């Protein structure tokens, strides 16, 4: 199955558009996707879960 990954295309500070490939399931690349993206949310949740685990262990 050939998946065609779209390009990020986010505006860069230099005035161009990002040439990185967008992450699968998102419309932005790893650099430009925000915390609202599925990838970012999953990452944040994982980090929060780790923090909670540490807090529980301290008790
Ligand atoms: Zn990008």
- In a 13 Å sphere around the CA of 55, the CA atoms on its Cβ side amount to 6
- Cα dihedral 36, 41, 47, 51 sign: positive
Residue 2 confidence (pLDDT): 53
Write down the pTM of the prediction. Answer: 0.48
Distance 44 CA to ligand 1 centre (A): 19
Residue 16 confidence (pLDDT): 92
Residue 6 confidence (pLDDT): 85
Q: State the CB neighbour count (10 A cutoff) for residue 33.
A: 20
Which residues of the chain fall short of a pLDDT of 70?
1-4, 36-39, 58-59
Tell me which DSSP letter residue 27 carries. Answer: S
Residue 1 confidence (pLDDT): 53
Distance 49 CA to ligand 1 centre (A): 27
Alpha-helical (H) ranges within 1-59 are 38-58
Neighbours of ion ligand 1 (CB under 5 A): 8, 10, 18, 20, 29, 31-32
């Amino acid at each position: 199955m050939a998946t065609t990954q779209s390009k990020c295309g986010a505006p860069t500070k230099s005035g161009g558009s990002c040439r990185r490939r967008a992450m699968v399931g998102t419309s932005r690349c790893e650099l430009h996707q925000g915390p609202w993206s599925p990838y970012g949310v999953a990452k944040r949740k994982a980090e929060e879960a780790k923090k909670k685990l540490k807090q529980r262990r301290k008790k």
